[in-house]
Structures are given as C-alpha cells and as structure tokens.
C-alpha cells in the first residue's frame, strides 16, 4: 500500500513555530511554515543580547540560530510574507489557502502565532506617544541592538533611568488580570546590561511584586540589587518638567513620609505580552475560542483535535519555554499521526521523592520500560515501573540510546542498559526556625495538611510568613495562597506576610485576586528587620513595620505561625553530577545554566533533568518538563547514529593518552572494546575541541584541518575565525569588505593556538576569534578555550597584542560585529 507523507502546517515562524519545525526535522513529514514577516525568527529575533561579561541566559540569540536551521531544513517549505487566508475542513485534514493564493492540503496544524508587546499608547497618562524619552522594553531592545541608546542621554555619563514594571499586565480594569511572566526578568537583565554599558548610570526599578523566579534570576537579582535602586510601587503617570525637560515620576517617600518626585533622562515601560492579532484571525478561521485574554492557556481555550497551540499563543512565555512548548506541540502531532511507533527502550529515573515517582509514572504510561532508582514510595503495588531501590551507583558509560549503568544492589554488581536517564532528585528541605521563639511554629506543608485532613483543628488566627529567609520559592508562595483561601473558607482569619507575591502561571494573578477578595490579609515588609516576633500565650505577637504604612508599627496576633521550608542542594547532587558527567550551577543545583540545551536537557545527549533538583518548579512545571522530555524521546532516534561529525580519530597516531575522553564536553568519546577511543557520532556535537586539543594530532577534522584553515588565510587581510552558531550568524546580514575574510568554525574552541599562529604566519594582518559569550557555548567551555588560546599566542614574544583578539559576539549582535570590523 502506498503511504502518503503527512503535511503539517505551522502558523508562525517565531520561537515556538521554529522549535516545532526543528523537532520534526527527522520525521517522515512535510512541514509548511507560514510566517507573515520576511524571515523566520519572530519577536525574539528583534531582541538584543543581554550578555555582560558572561551570557545572562535570555535565549534571544537562539532565535537567530533556529531561523538559520529552519532555512536549511530539508523537509520544510517556508512561506514568507504571507499568512493563512482560508482553512476548510476536508477529509482527514484541511485545505489551506495562503494570502498569496498558494494552497495545499494539511493533516495537522500547529498554531504558533506568538504575542504582541503591549502598546502603551492605550494608557494616556504615560504619554508614550508624546514624550520621546519614554520607551518600552521592546524599544530598548532595538536601541541596544542598534547601539543607538546613547543619543537619549545627551552625553551625560550618569544618566538617570527608570524602569516601570507591569505596564499592560496585572490590571483587571484593563482586562489583563494576568502576569506576563517575563517582564521582571527582562527588566532585570536590561538594567544589568545598562549598568555594564554605562557604569555610572543611576537606575531605579519600580515594581509591583518582583518575580524573582528561576535559577538564572536569583543570582542576578542578588548582585543587581546592590547596583540599582528597587522601589516597590509602580508610577502610573509620567509628566515632563517644562523647565528642565526631564521626565518626572512621583512615588511614596518612606523617609519624609510623603511623596517625592524624581527626575529621569529615560523611562522604560516594561510592557506585558498580549496575544498577537494574527492569533485572533487564525482562531476565527479555525473556529476556536480563546479565553477572555485572547490566549489559550485556560479554558475555554481548548483547541480542536487537529490543531495544537504552541508558544505564546498559549499564554505569556519566555524564549526557552516557548521553545519547549513548540517541541511538545511537535511531539503531539507525531503521536496523533502515529509516527512514533518505533520500539520503546528503557529509561532510567533517579530520585527518591514524589517528583521522581511522578516522572517514572508518566514515562512508563507512555509505554517506555521504566527503571526507578529510588524507593518509589508513592507508586502503587502493581505499577509498571521497575523500582530498583537501595542501589548504589558505581558508574555510567555509553551514550544516548545505549547507556550502561553499573550499580550495586543486594551486594551484587549489576548493569542496566537504557536509552536515557532522567535525574529527578529532591533538593534538601530545611525546616526554618525563628530562634527568638519558644512556641512552636508550623511548617507550611504541615499546615496545608492540617487544613485538608483535620479542618476542625485549624486555628482561628494564622499568619504565613514568606520571603523571610530569602526570596520565596514559587511553589511555596502558591501553596500559601491556596491554603489561605481554604482557611478563609473555614471562617478563619489568615494573614500572609511577604516581601512580594509571586503570581506565576496562567492563573497566578487570579488566585492572588481571589485571596484578597476573600479577605485574606496581606502584609508587606521590606527587609526581615522590619519584623519582630514574640511569644504571646500559646500564640505569637508579630510587630511589623508594614511597607505601605511606614509611619506606624503594626501589632498582629496569631495563634499559629506558619513557615515554608528553605530549599538547598541535597548532599547527593555532587555525586550525581559526577556520575552523569555534568556540572552544577552557581547555587549547587544540578544542570549548569546554559540556554543551548533548553530547560531539561544537558550537553550530554540522553541525560535529562526534571523538577526542583535543577530549577524552581511547581507540579505544573514538572509535568511540562516531563512532556518535553517525552517529546525528545518521540522525535529523536537515539539509536540511529547518522550524523557525520566531520571528526575522525586516526588510530595509528593515537597515543591513547585519553585527553579526548576526558575533555569531551558531550561525553561523546568512549573507550571501545579494542581499548581505543572512539567517537560516537550521535552523541557528538562536532565542536572540534578534541581536534584542537589532541597532543598527538591524532584527531582530524575532515573539512577543517589546520592546513585547510591556513589555506583560507589571505595575505594582509583581517581574518575572523567565527563560530558558526554565533559570530558567523551575526555577520550573516552584512556584506563584508575585501579586507575582511571570515572563516566559519564549528565552535570557537577550533581556534587553537596552532591555527592562530598559522594564520599570522600566512600573512593575516590581524586575527579575530569570535564566538559565543562565556557560558553560552553549546560545548560549555569553547569560548573560554578560545580566549586562553588567544592569550597563549599573545604571550609569545613578538606577537603584538593588537594582532590577535578574542571577541564574544552573539548571533543577534550584528551591529557589534559591524563595529568591530569597522575598527579592525
């Protein structure tokens, strides 16, 4: 029987649409990607690089790289500058007509129409259209990208800049009672970038509740809070001083107990996300009903069977979450079309708590033989999960699709072969204590359980204390809200004392609104010093300097004081990281922050992370992470190595020094049965680090040997060795002058000192090595390796320091690239 290849339509070429398309690259399908702009990339492609000395993990550069990938994708047909005009149900799919009259039949549709930044013209009092120096975060991105921001400062070395959060978000009166999820992070990164560019600038960030969520934002907030002024309270009006032409904001002044007006050179409105207008039109065509905000993140936004919604059409998301959502959408399509019928191989899961059990259960329910290294306490007796409790891990070898796990169980050494491993450990929970108190406090978990199981025992007056021991974790803030509403329903008084409320997730703001409506009392404090606790009978007296009432100290009595625990890396994380060949992040949790590998993956293919062992995650996040991991399983053929890595080990020259095995960032080189190092193609990312570092010159690049590079060097030209996923992409839109010659390299680490020296010897007037910003390298240390190669060459007597330069340039830093070559 003849099998027709299914057609899949992706509407929208932004991050989610591109991620979905790329996830379908290895599938036997034809992907039609329709984008209304003149190229794929979406909103993220308009954003500036937020890197300072290191990458700040915003992910914007990924959109440029993904666009490049999409353009080269073999099973993809790109329709640009057009949109869907008509869609008619026909048999098992849709007959689709584009604005440009082209029509075709599609089986499945992925709707990835993205978002539009909120347009503040709608809010008269902000005078966005009238005052030149009132801009949005979207405008700031453009200005940073074009390197034209300075003209706003009139040559002032110390410009005063304000950020105003929540413009177009968290506003029920404007029909936007949702948090846009990304704006706090964007503004914090922007402020960080501005401090980097203008060290003397004076930055104030006006916020409602600063959403400090996630592993990359916590450390950024800690360092940034020392360099900028953070003011709670968002001004809703901007006025211009007619004498000085400075912009003026009025805010409460805690010192004088009055209000104060402050003058600024530039005011940045941190605008929220709205559904794109394309979404509305497309939803109409498909007869889908979005929710009251225009998104599909809550009911009634449940789409039809043949349509999968992805990315910001689903609701506000950051770049990495959009990418994640795109992948999940692709997997859904693959599943619906029945394309993932290949034999499902074993998956190992590590972890000793609910999260690991939940992960194991979800994976096993999709038909994968699942092995849980942990007690599996919450799993039922008849579970399909094989529970391998009380096993001691010894080592891990092999690569994705073919891992061998060596472990010891019941004093016997055992081996498990599996396709992939998911680390879902539990972090350490420390019960917090208030030392000054004799009366016992209750943990948040215990209080929540008490409300659920013995509601009659709920005390009359309860206070839940958040943020006291550091910025709260979102799962605890969420649990506090939920529990408080339940206590209120029992007729009890309940207060939440906090520095800020985290309103993450589609319904976060609505949950917070509901709690206030139901008269849960909320108190704000600025620092933990604003609070004093005393025992009072069997309960407590809390003396509180409330942030909104700074002229008075409030006395709050409660029978019961509830404290959430603190989360910290568990003792086993280090060993687990070592076993998996991974590094820990700055705070000691699993998975180093690196946007190149998305939210759940690692540089070693087949190793995944889920839950709170690697990032802040609530139960919803965990489910999304599991979905993403499953999407990788269903769209990747781990056991079919077919990538030509372009790298070979010449076994005759190999000295078996094992350097390559030791340094490979992807653990892609193994010792084979002949005791020889062997590159496993499907685990290799072709970074060429081994090529640059093999002391015996035994590892050869087929297309990019040192000699081949040397031959490309032109005399008296500036040679730029540019990483193909960053600097070379940044150069893409430019026409380079003849005095510049660009050589694409797979990773900055390919520029070994040998290569640089050869370039100089062959007459290059200057050698610039350019790659990703530190910590954004897909192969982790590539940029650092290139940097040290440059320094090594410069340490040779006679090499002028102006002749060899290391410049990190991200894929979205075209202007920076232009500036560098114009000076070269």
**Which spans of this chain sit near other proteins (rule: CB under 8 A)?**
124-125, 127, 130, 166, 170-174, 177, 206, 208, 232-237, 239, 242, 249-252, 256, 258-259, 261, 493, 495, 513, 516-517, 519, 521-522, 524, 543, 545-549, 551-557
Minimum Å gap between C-beta 468 and other proteins is 18
Minimum Å gap between C-beta 52 and other proteins is 30
Minimum Å gap between C-beta 115 and other proteins is 20
Minimum Å gap between C-beta 296 and other proteins is 24
Give, in order, the Cα–Cα distances in Å from 85 to each of 90, 102, 109, 295, 634.
Answer: 16, 10, 14, 21, 32
What is the SS3 assignment for 510?
Answer: helix
What is the SS3 assignment for 419?
Answer: coil
Minimum Å gap between C-beta 128 and other proteins is 13
Backbone angles phi, psi at 280, to 5 degrees: -60, -50
Minimum Å gap between C-beta 668 and other proteins is 51
Which residue's CB is nearer to other proteins, number 146 or number 553? Answer: 553
Which residue's CB is nearer to other proteins, number 289 or number 555? Answer: 555
- List of residues 6+ apart from 268 with CB closer than 8 A: 135, 136, 137, 139, 140, 161, 162, 163, 164, 187, 190
Which residue's CB is nearer to other proteins, number 232 or number 600? Answer: 232
CA–CA distance, 416 with 371 (Å, rounded to integer): 9
CA–CA distance, 811 with 60 (Å, rounded to integer): 9
Helix H or strand E encompassing 756: helix 753-761
Which residue's CB is nearer to other proteins, number 218 or number 518? Answer: 518
Which residue's CB is nearer to other proteins, number 202 or number 252? Answer: 252
Contact 19, 64 (CB under 8 A): no
Minimum Å gap between C-beta 231 and other proteins is 8
Phi-psi region of 115 (alpha: psi -120 to 50; beta: other; left: phi over 0): beta
Which CB contacts under 8 angstroms, 24+ apart, belong to 356-361? Answer: 356/424, 356/425, 356/426, 356/611, 358/424, 358/619, 358/622, 358/623, 358/626, 359/422, 359/424, 359/610, 359/611, 359/622, 359/626, 360/385, 361/385
Minimum Å gap between C-beta 494 and other proteins is 11
CA–CA distance, 691 with 5 (Å, rounded to integer): 40
Which residue's CB is nearer to other proteins, number 494 or number 593? Answer: 494
Which residue's CB is nearer to other proteins, number 241 or number 819? Answer: 241
Minimum Å gap between C-beta 310 and other proteins is 30
Which residue's CB is nearer to other proteins, number 250 or number 578? Answer: 250
Nearest to 104 by CA among 22, 27, 32: 32
Which residue's CB is nearer to other proteins, number 72 or number 259? Answer: 259
- Compute, in degrees rounded to 10, the torsion defined by CA atoms 685, 691, 694, 700: 120
Minimum Å gap between C-beta 609 and other proteins is 35
Minimum Å gap between C-beta 523 and other proteins is 8
Beta pairing class for 531-536 and 539-545: antiparallel
Which residue's CB is nearer to other proteins, number 186 or number 234? Answer: 234
Place of tokens 């941190």: 270
Minimum Å gap between C-beta 522 and other proteins is 7
Which residue's CB is nearer to other proteins, number 89 or number 557? Answer: 557
Dihedral angle sign, alpha carbons of residues 772, 773, 777, 783: positive
Q: 665 has which bridge partners?
A: none
Which residue's CB is nearer to other proteins, number 77 or number 130? Answer: 130
- Burial track 221-257 (b if 16+ CB lie within 10 A, e otherwise): beebeeebebbbebbeebebeeeeeebbbebbeeeee
């Amino acid at each position: 029987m003849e099998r027709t290849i299914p057609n899949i339509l992706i509407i929208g070429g932004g991050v989610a649409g591109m991620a979905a398309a790329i996830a379908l690259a290895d599938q036997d399908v034809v992907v039609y990607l329709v984008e209304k702009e003149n190229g794929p990339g979406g909103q993220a492609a308009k954003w500036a690089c937020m890197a300072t000395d290191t990458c700040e993990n915003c992910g914007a550069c990924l959109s440029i790289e993904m666009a490049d990938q999409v353009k080269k994708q073999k099973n993809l047909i790109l329709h640009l500058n057009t949109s869907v005009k008509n869609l008619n149900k026909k048999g098992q799919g849709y007959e689709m007509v584009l604005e440009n009259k082209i029509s075709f039949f599609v089986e499945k549709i992925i709707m990835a129409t993205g978002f539009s930044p909120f347009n503040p013209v709608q809010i008269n009092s902000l005078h966005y259209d009238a005052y030149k120096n009132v801009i949005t975060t979207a405008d700031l991105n453009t200005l940073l990208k074009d390197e034209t921001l300075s003209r706003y400062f009139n040559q002032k070395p110390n410009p005063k800049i304000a950020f105003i959060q929540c413009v177009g978000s968290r506003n029920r009166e404007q029909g936007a009672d949702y948090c846009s999820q990304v704006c706090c992070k964007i503004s914090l990164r922007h402020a960080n970038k501005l401090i980097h560019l203008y060290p003397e600038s004076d930055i104030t960030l006006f916020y409602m509740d600063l959403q400090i969520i996630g592993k990359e934002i916590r450390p950024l907030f800690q360092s940034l809070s020392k360099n900028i002024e953070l003011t709670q309270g968002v001004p809703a009006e901007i006025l211009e001083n007619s004498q000085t032409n400075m912009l003026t904001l009025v805010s409460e002044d805690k010192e004088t107990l009055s209000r104060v007006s402050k003058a600024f050179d530039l005011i940045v409105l941190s605008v929220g996300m709205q559904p794109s207008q394309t979404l509305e039109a497309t939803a109409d065509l498909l007869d889908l009903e979005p929710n009251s905000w225009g998104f599909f993140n809550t009911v009634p936004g449940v789409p039809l069977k043949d349509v999968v919604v992805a990315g910001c059409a689903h609701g506000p998301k950051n770049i990495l979450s959009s990418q994640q959502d795109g992948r999940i959408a692709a997997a859904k399509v693959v599943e619906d079309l029945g394309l993932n019928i290949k034999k499902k191989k074993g998956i190992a899961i590590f972890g000793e708590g609910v999260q690991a059990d939940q992960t194991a259960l979800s994976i096993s329910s999709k038909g994968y033989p699942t092995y849980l290294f942990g007690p599996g306490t919450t799993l039922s007796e008849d579970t399909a999960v094989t529970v391998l409790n009380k096993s001691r891990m010894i080592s891990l070898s092999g690569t994705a699709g073919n891992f061998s796990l060596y472990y010891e169980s019941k004093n016997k050494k055992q081996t498990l072969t599996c396709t992939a491993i998911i680390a879902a450990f539990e972090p350490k929970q420390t019960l917090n204590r208030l030392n000054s108190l004799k009366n016992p406090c209750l943990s948040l978990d215990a209080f929540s359980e008490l409300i659920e199981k013995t509601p009659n025992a709920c005390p009359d007056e309860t206070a839940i204390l958040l943020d006291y021991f550091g910025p709260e974790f979102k799962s605890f803030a969420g649990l506090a809200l939920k529990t408080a509403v339940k206590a209120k329903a029992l007729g009890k008084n309940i207060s939440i004392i906090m520095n800020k409320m985290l309103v993450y997730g589609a319904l976060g703001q609505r949950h917070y609104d509901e709690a206030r409506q139901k008269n849960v009392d909320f108190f704000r404090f600025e620092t933990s010093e604003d609070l004093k606790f005393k025992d009072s009978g069997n309960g407590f007296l809390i003396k509180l300097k409330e942030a909104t009432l700074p002229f008075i100290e409030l006395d709050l009595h409660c029978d019961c004081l509830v404290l959430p625990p603190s989360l910290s890396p568990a003792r086993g994380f280090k060993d687990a990281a070592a076993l998996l060949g991974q590094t820990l992040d700055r705070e000691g949790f699993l998975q180093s922050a690196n946007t190149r590998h998305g939210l759940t993956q690692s540089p070693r293919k087949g190793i995944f992370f889920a839950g709170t062992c690697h990032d802040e995650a609530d139960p919803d996040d965990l489910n999304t992470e599991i979905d993403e991991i499953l999407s990788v399983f269903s769209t990747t053929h781990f056991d079919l190595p077919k990538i030509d890595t372009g790298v070979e080990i010449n076994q005759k020259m190999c000295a078996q020094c094992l350097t390559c095995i030791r340094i490979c960032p992807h653990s892609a080189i193994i010792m084979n049965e002949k005791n020889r190092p062997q590159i496993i193609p499907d685990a290799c990312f072709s970074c060429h680090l081994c090529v640059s570092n093999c002391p015996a010159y035994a590892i050869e690049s087929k297309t990019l040997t040192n000699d081949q590079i040397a031959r490309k060097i032109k005399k008296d030209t500036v040679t730029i060795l540019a990483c193909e996923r960053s600097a070379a992409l940044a150069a893409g839109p430019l026409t380079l002058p003849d005095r510049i010659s660009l050589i694409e390299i797979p990773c900055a680490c390919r520029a070994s000192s040998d290569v640089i020296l050869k370039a100089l010897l062959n007459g290059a007037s200057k050698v610039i090595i350019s790659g990703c910003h530190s910590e954004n390298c897909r192969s982790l240390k590539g940029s650092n390796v290139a940097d040290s190669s440059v320094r090594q060459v410069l340490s040779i007597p006679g090499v002028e320091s102006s002749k060899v330069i290391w410049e990190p340039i991200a894929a979205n830093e075209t202007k920076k690239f232009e500036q560098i070559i114009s000076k070269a």
